[in-house]
Amino acid sequence: MIPSILALGGHDFTSRPPDRAVSELMLRLATERAGGRPKICILPTASGDTAEQIGRFYAAFDERPCEPSDVSLFRLGRRPVALRDHLLAQDLIYVGGGSLVNLLAVWEAHELEAILSLAWRRGIVLAGQSAGAMCWFEAGITKSSGRPAAEAGLGLLGGSLCVHYNNEPERRAAYLDAVSNGMPGGYGLDDYAGLIWEGAGPPSAVTARRGARAYKVSKTDTGVVESPLPARFLPAPAPAALREDIAEFRRLKSMRRRAGWLA
Amino acid sequence: METATRQIVAFGGGGFSMESGNPLLDEYVLGLARGERPRVCFMPSASGDADHYVVRFYRAFPAERCEPSHISLFRREQGPADLRAHLLAQDLIYVGGGSVVSLLGVWRAHGIDAILREAWESGVVLCGLSAGSLCWFAEAHSGFHGQPRRVEGLGFLPFSNSVHYERDSDHGLAYHAQLRGGMRAGYAAQDGAALHFTGSDLCRVVASRPAAKAYWLDPAPAGIAEVELKTTYLGEAPASSTETAAIAA
């Protein structure tokens, strides 16, 4: 049982190559843990359990060799789930993005922290992006209350994490400021960069898009230093074969377009 | 100085969320709010701030009738920056249904619990259905999470509460079991029935459906005393056959 965490700076579940590469990595980590067809569950809590986030997750994994499921803490009334049993039966638990403050508050209200911590100790891979990545650390920088601010996480991993490092300069600035003012140092992750912890020891960095980077962020005597980490590139797998009728529909559409019937 | 009347209207279920085409409960709470064009703020927190729910609120509370707004605690960057100022400026705060456990967790994280108490004490009318009813009470019987669960609410009303109440349903029986197990006495309301409190006193029970009922349940040593409460139907009185019969006799 090796406690494993995959933290991602930002991604989506689309059919674009970098997104497919991230989904493939999750599937691989889950399959390694399962030794066969893995169970993968999304916790979309940080978004308020939006249908979009859940739908995109299923679109990415429905046709893949795994058993996807979701636990919606806002919809337990309509769809009761034995939380502990269901979560501890997974090979990978994926936490989506959204509000870090709400994520942690709702988990606390439903007493989920201990279950997730136990899952981690049992070697169930914990994965997530954005709020769903920062939640595993001691602290992160969230915009849950409007402007970027420091917020404590569950603390399964020491140190801090800042996500969307390349495309949210105000979040990065708030992070550097917080670290220089005493927040524990940690990591900055661009969108499509990730860090994998497997057991004790430092994480390994991965990237699904050229140029996306992971940084180690530390406070030194001369100020806060950001050092890029060497990262392994994740190639995108070939897109899943299209269903025959969809392929046929696209062929027809492109024929009609060529014929000039469609603007 | 005159102290403001503290008012809460707790729906067992109903209003625009559940009774499309029947605006009686929504009209009732609007009628309690101060002013010609009251400021009404919707809090969809218990649904996870579901977009479709927010849209339905704006349809049910159009700008001709009131000054509607909503607060999404999942998208704080878009809404009012000062939650306290916004909520204290309202005439009516309307809390939607969903998960009461999640609702209370999110509210506490954003300090909404303290703000709502302040709003209530300053005369802002508070109302809601389902989770938006349970939240105001000291104890909520939330039987919709698989295992029936006893949830500690905000405690503005020192009772327990059960919503969507049906006497002999599993849910109703689970409330009885909780009362026997030490939950404090409280109010149960059916869909279409609403409990109107001034301070912590029940002043009226109103209904959007002629047959909707509400009850007071007290766990006495001899067994649970269930008292049916006098209810005022808010719609036009239907022609009563018993009355006609009485006149004929």
pLDDT single digits (tens) A237-262: 887 666 677 777 777 776 766 655 54
Average pLDDT of the segment spanning A149-164:
97
Cβ–Cβ gap A80/B48 under 8 Å: no
The pTM of this model reads 0.89
More confident residue, B241 or B84: B84
When mean pLDDT is compared across A102-111, A205-214, A239-248, the lowest value belongs to A239-248
Within 8 A of B48 by CB-CB distance, chain A residues are 47-50, 74
The answer on pLDDT for B148 being more than 80 is no
pLDDT single digits (tens) B95-111: 999 999 999 999 999 99
What is the CATH architecture of A4-235?
3-Layer(aba) Sandwich (3.40)
Q: What is the reported pLDDT for B142?
A: 84
Strand runs (DSSP E) across A50-189, as ranges?
Answer: 67-70, 92-95, 125-129, 137-142, 149-152, 157-162, 186-189
Q: What is the reported pLDDT for A263?
A: 41
Residue of B74, B81, B102 lying closest to A109 (CB–CB) = B102
Averaged pLDDT of chain B: 92
Q: What is the reported pLDDT for A169?
A: 96
Q: In what order do the strands lie in the sheet with A186-189?
A: A149-152, A137-142, A157-162, A186-189, A214-220, A223-228
Unique residue bearing structure tokens 């100022």: B85
Average pLDDT of the segment spanning B181-202:
97
- % of chain B surpassing 70 pLDDT: 92
Cβ–Cβ gap A48/B49 under 8 Å: yes
Residue A160: helix, strand or coil by DSSP? strand
Residue B198: helix, strand or coil by DSSP? strand
Active-site positions of A read 130, 164
pLDDT single digits (tens) A61-99: 999 999 999 999 999 888 888 999 999 999 999 999 999
**For every residue of B71-138, which 3-state class applies, written as one string?**
CCCCCCCCCCCCHHHHHHCCCEEEECCCCHHHHHHHHHHCCHHHHHHHHHHCCCEEEEECHHHHCCEE
pLDDT single digits (tens) A130-155: 999 999 999 999 999 889 999 999 99
The answer on pLDDT for A37 being more than 60 is yes
Q: Which helix (H) or strand (E) holds A59?
A: helix A51-61
Within 8 A of A109 by CB-CB distance, chain B residues are 101-102, 104-105
The answer on pLDDT for B192 being more than 70 is yes
Instruction: Mutation target for B interface from A53, A72, A74: give the one with most B CBs within 10 A.
Output: A74
Residue of A77, A78, A106 lying closest to B105 (CB–CB) = A106
- % of chain A surpassing 70 pLDDT: 95
In degrees rounded to 5, what are phi and psi of residue A223?
130, -170
Q: Which helix (H) or strand (E) holds A117?
A: helix A113-121
When mean pLDDT is compared across A113-117, A122-126, B143-147, the lowest value belongs to B143-147
Residue B236 binned pLDDT confidence (cut-offs 50, 70, 90)? confident
Averaged pLDDT of chain A: 93
More confident residue, A81 or A193: A193
What is the chain B residue with the closest CA to A146?
A: B77
- Residue-range domain boundaries for chain A: 4-235
- Structural domains of chain B, with CATH: 7-248 (3.40.50.880)
ipTM over 0.90 threshold = no
Active-site positions of B read 130, 164
Q: What is the reported pLDDT for A122?
A: 96
Bridging pattern class, strands A214-220 and A186-189: antiparallel
Residue B171 binned pLDDT confidence (cut-offs 50, 70, 90)? confident
When mean pLDDT is compared across A40-54, B119-133, B144-158, the lowest value belongs to B144-158
- Please, what's the b/e burial string for B5-16 (b: 16 or more CB within 10 A of its CB; e: otherwise)? ebbbbbbbbbbb
Q: Which helix (H) or strand (E) holds B227?
A: strand B223-228
